[in-house]
Chain A
Amino acid sequence: MTVATSSGPTPAGSRNQVSAWRLLLNNRLAAVGLVLLSLLVLVALLAPLLPLPDPDATAPAERLQPVLSQGHLLGTDQLGRDILSRLTWGSRVSMAVGFAATLVAAAIGSTIGLVSGYAGGRTDNLMMRGVDMLMAFPYILLALAIVAALGPGLMNALYAIAIVNIPFFARNVRGVTLGLSHAEFVDAARLSGKGHLSIITTEVLPNVLPVIVITMSTTAGWMILETAGLSFLGLGAQPPQADLGSMLGEGRAQLFTAPQVSIVPGVMIFLIVISLNVLGDGIRDVLDPRLRSGALLRPGPRTEVHSDRAQPANGFPSAVLNVEGLETGFVRNGHYSSAVKAVSLHLHPGECLGLIGESGSGKSVTALSIMGLVNSPPGVIRNGGIYLHGDDVHSMPDTRLISCRGSRVAYIFQDPLTTLHPMHTIGRQVEEAISAHQRLDRRALQERSVALLERVGIRDARERAKHYPHQLSGGQRQRVGIAMALANDPDVIVADEPTTALDVTVQAQILGLLKELRRERGMALLFITHDFGVVAEICDRVAVMKDGVVVETGPTQELLADPQHDYTKRLIACVPEIGRGSDFLARVRSVFDAGNKP
């Protein structure tokens, strides 16, 4: 998936408010839907002004004229009425009923959902049981029964359809409201003495509104179909008034002899509903907060590399891994902004390089860029070369890059609860890491995986292998992550804050383990952290990152002893040392004051 940044729709979110509308139009399908729907609505609205014949004027002698016949562009129906005219007027009726039903269902359903979700407890239980009952009643039959009870006619069909659709709104809105009713701002409003009604309308409703709009946009098409369905069964518009469903229902008798009579309204229903659905789909994408943040974009197997990146030559041919002039950035809303710039790092065999910086400084982006693991879109490697044993990683074809992952360069990630697959056993996940690069039979795989787990210090490894990640402690999960990284004896391990999520004792154990393994296997280690204490313990050299740039680099001891950059000084100062707690603040204050001086 190497899409050039300039082409292709990239409806990623941004903070500006204009974007929603632009996003919608960016989605070409949705834009087409919007245009089509506007056109159809316009024609329907203008029906009285258009030069159309009387839709109810019968001329049985001229019945079932074909499409494009004289005076009847779309032919005539079973009573010789002009189909084009009936279609226009019928669309008007069908759309009005469909939209009105949507509004009614939204109003009633949302109210039920709001009250139910806000009140909770018994009220909630009772209301939701009622909604369950509505849901369990086959919807067409419910509509049928309602219309049978109220009598036929468009208004009654409208009520029936609205009632049938109440549960969708009630359920969706309740779900969101339930979460909001315990939100802090709602509690605050309650404490400030606001009444329930005013809390619901002023605090909860605005936050629920997107859900209501999404549900409306996705059900409006459905409602028009149902209106047609009821009319089809003869429960909608009263003859001779035209609506699309009854046109279809009545025209059906001619399906074999004059198919246009039923196909024309069928196609019209299709056009209206599909334009609504396409548009609704687009609206949902736009209003969905996850999609706005770009979270619902499909990341490709490797980070996209810009086609004309600058690729500096390999300055350290002897290094096992050398990053030269790396620039990685993100495209959001069509605009590129870089996250790291001109980053150069190298790792000699068996060496441990610490990459340190505060969160957001670009450490992780750098680490993930190495093997093309930055999610893309929106990530792009704009510039730079990454040399693994002298080969540029980002010039490799997909298969080669993928085969290097795990076997030459392995990763250990930060939060092992989210980075392990929640539905596979840990044994299986380790086995998978092995089998990605080695052909072994089942038994051998199992043995290796158990051995690895044992090696990283998991007790009862054979038993533990059958467990799922959520059944392990944080430290154990991190050991599993390390075991997976070790599986293929890689040349380089990139450890992205492997100890941050752990408590201090476990952290020490893990660091000890990593140190031991490095010694034992001679792997190079790129160790990413924000903690100089950890760096001091494990790293040979350190690179300090700030705002996407490496500001200082050097052997650990030298750098610790004589930091050049103010930022480095501040980072070092933040490491508390045992027994020197009393003057910690004074020490820190001095570097920060110094740093702030112009």
Chain B
Amino acid sequence: MKRLFQGAAVAAAIALASFSAQAQTPPNVLIVGQIAEPKSLDPHAVTATNDFRILVNLYDGLVRYKDGTLEVEPSLAETWTISDDGKTYTFKLREGVKFHDGSDFNAEAVKFNFDRMLKEDHPFHDTGPFPLAFNFSAVEAVNVIDENTVEFKLKEPFAPFLSNLAYPTGLIISPAAVEEYGKDFGRHPSGTGAFKFTEWQSNQLVAAERNENYWDGAPSLEAVVFRPITDSNTRVAEMLAGGIDIMVEVPPDNLASFKSDSNFKVAEQAGPHVWFGILNTKEGPFADKRVRQAANFAVNKETLVNDVLQGTATVAAGPIPPAFNWVNSSVEPYPYDPERAKQLLAEAGVEDPKLTFYVTEGGSGMLNPVTMGAAIQADLEAAGFAVTIESYEWNTFLGRVNEGLESKADMAEMAWMTNDPDTLPYLTLRTEALPANGGFNSGYYSNPELDQLLERARRSTDQSERAELYAQVQEIVHDDAPWLFVANWKQNAVTTAAVEGFELEPSFLLNLKDVSK
């Protein structure tokens, strides 16, 4: 432990050792309370936002999201060009950048990264698995043009490509480190990022120190330490006790007390997140569109976001979250109108509709699933549905929901965080995306018009055209109501008053380079 921060101020350490009972964080070292231990520090091997929050500080991608937006700006690539047919991307790479292990960042390195993920015959493909590799499934080949130029050939035009490159799955790792550590690379990460990995103590901490040679200017923090604290109460307690400087995903109920306490600062940021209930459109009461709409009218979403979630979310209107602000949709959420719901149920001629509702215990982006589930159940019952909740632990839940709801359930909670408006509807609402075809359309919704719109929107490279298409998507899905639209999460974080320059990103990533303390 001590040899960890060799570069850090020794005097501070001595002074602090005598006070270690008072949970005081050391100066210029930022301690981040995470919700869990990372699975791996190999950006291509992980899927959780929790892990991404660490990774973006250790690695860079070719491109990255501009501060406070979901727009793409240069990072390791200084410039790029897109061919007219939208199938060839050519990146001019930043020169003189080195990985933390001292090896050079160049076109070969970029090729290595994508080939490892995408090519089954790559010598290091077995260091996977790479669950999010499908983000780049459109890539046909990665070609090295010269030392600092790399070319991506796509099979077909794919609008979200750049955005996907900016996503953590597109972060660039050191080929030399992969060659050295093989399967253990995830524990010995090496990137080009603002912080250099120093140590990982199982379930205790992941530590990284300042990268003095960072191409974008060395960060002012000496080091960052990510502490996994799975229990949210313990996390709050550590924050209150002064054991951590930043905590993410503050439980809604604690937010108000942090806001009113001058020792803390609260950051909030809406992100591309949707919390919804998948409705089984194939069988049972929800096969009828009017019943699906009735459910949307019956649930009091305002109360859910304002009371249950204490204002940490807004009411969702459709599958496209408002964080994609360039999609100018005018669709308003379903209002709370239990009378209307009853009327629709009567019109549909469904008497006493019985529902089985899958609820999960927790999970990425699921907010407060049990309480939310109970509240939704109560509202639906009030409108005349008979709802039975079945709750499952997250991985069981995913197993059950992802294989389709048929003959099991009528409704299931779900939440997604994405980086492009394409991802969610494309994976979950297309006819082609049925579970049998390897998609996530667990409610068997099918609308050929929507399928066409989505295909067009992902091939188009014109932002305004895409904006128009996604507005239509929003409208159609809203009206067909294959889901119960509930909430868009505003992520939050609390820092101590001493932390400066901290901002949350709409991408849900945690950029600590410009933070000081």
Q: Nearest chain A CB to B487's CB is how many angstroms away?
A: 13
> Chain A binding site: helix, strand, loop or mixed by DSSP?
loop
Say how far A7's CB is from chain B's closest CB, in angstroms: 49
B147 at the interface (CB under 8 A from A): no
Known: A239-B359, A255-B233. A234 touches B253 (CB 8 A): no
B391-420 interface bits toward A, Cβ cutoff 8 Å, 1 = contact, 0 = none = 111001000000000000000000000000
Using CB atoms, name the residue of chain A closest to B395: A148
Taking A250-B370, A253-B368 as contacts, is the C-beta distance between A58 and B392 under 8 angstroms? no
Q: Decide yes or no whether A79 CB sits under 8 A from chain B.
A: yes
B303–A60 CB distance below 8 A: yes
> Max chain B CB contacts within 10 Å: which of A61, A79, A151, A153?
A79
- Is A253 touching B308 in the complex (CB atoms < 8 A)? no
Binding site for A on B (CB under 8 A): 232-233, 236-237, 240, 251, 253-254, 256-257, 300, 303-304, 307-308, 359, 361-362, 368, 370-371, 373-375, 377-379, 388-393, 396
Chain B residues lying within 8 Å of A57, measured Cβ to Cβ, are 378
Contacts of B303 in A (CB 8 A): 60-61
Q: Are B256 and A257 in contact (CB under 8 A)?
A: yes
* Central interface residue in A58, A64, A255, by most chain B CB within 10 Å: A58
CB atoms of A152 and B390 under 8 A apart: yes
Among all A-B residue pairs, the 9 with the closest Cβ atoms = A60-B307, A234-B361, A58-B378, A60-B303, A240-B374, A239-B374, A257-B253, A253-B251, A254-B253
- The answer for the CA separation of A253 and B361 in the assembled complex, in Å, is 13
Query: In chain A, residues 218-248, which have Cβ atoms closer than 8 Å to a Cβ of chain B?
Result: 234-235, 238-240
User: Could you say which residues of chain B place their CB within 8 Å of the CB of A83?
Assistant: none
Once bound together, how far apart are the Cα atoms of A252 and B388, in whole Å?
Answer: 24
Determine which of A58, A151, A239, A258 lies in contact with B389 in the assembled complex, contact meaning CB atoms within 8 Å: A239
Please state if B240 and A239 are interface contacts (CB–CB under 8 Å): no
Indicate if A256 sits at the interface (CB-CB under 8 A): yes
Measured CA separation A255–B388 after assembly (Å): 28
Quick check: B391 and A234 within 8 Å, CB to CB? yes
Interface residue count on the A side (C-beta < 8 Å): 27
- Contacting B307 at CB < 8 Å: which of A61, A238, A239, A253? A61
Least distance between B400 CB and chain A CB atoms (Å): 10
Q: Does A476 contact B (CB under 8 A)?
A: no
Out of B257, B308, B362, which one reaches A78, CB within 8 Å? B308
> Taking the nearest CB of chain A, how far is it from the CB of B243, in angstroms?
15
B308 partner residues in chain A, CB cutoff 8 A: 60, 63, 78-79
Interface residues of A (CB under 8 A from B): 56-58, 60-61, 63-64, 78-80, 148, 151-153, 234-235, 238-240, 250, 252-258
Q: Which B residues lie within 8 Å of A257 (CB)?
A: 253-254, 256-257
Known: A253-B253, A256-B236. A152 touches B391 (CB 8 A): yes
Interface centre among A63, A80, A240, A254 (most CB of B within 10 A): A240
Assess the A252–B233 pair: CB atoms within 8 A.
yes
B257 to chain A: which residues have CB within 8 Å? 256-257
Given A234-B361, A253-B233, A257-B257, residue A58 in contact with residue B393 (CB < 8 A): no
Q: A148-B393, A239-B391 are in contact. Are A234 and B307 (CB under 8 A)?
A: no
**How far apart sit A78 and B308, CA to CA, in the bound complex (Å)?**
7
Q: List 8 A-B contacts (CB under 8 A).
A: A78-B371, A238-B391, A239-B374, A250-B370, A253-B232, A255-B233, A256-B233, A256-B253
- Across-interface contacts of A256 in B (CB, < 8 A): 233, 236-237, 240, 253-254, 257
Q: In the complex, given contacts A152-B393, A253-B253, what are 10 additional A-B residue pairs having Cβ atoms less than 8 angstroms apart? A: A60-B308, A61-B307, A63-B308, A78-B308, A152-B391, A235-B393, A253-B368, A253-B371, A256-B257, A258-B253
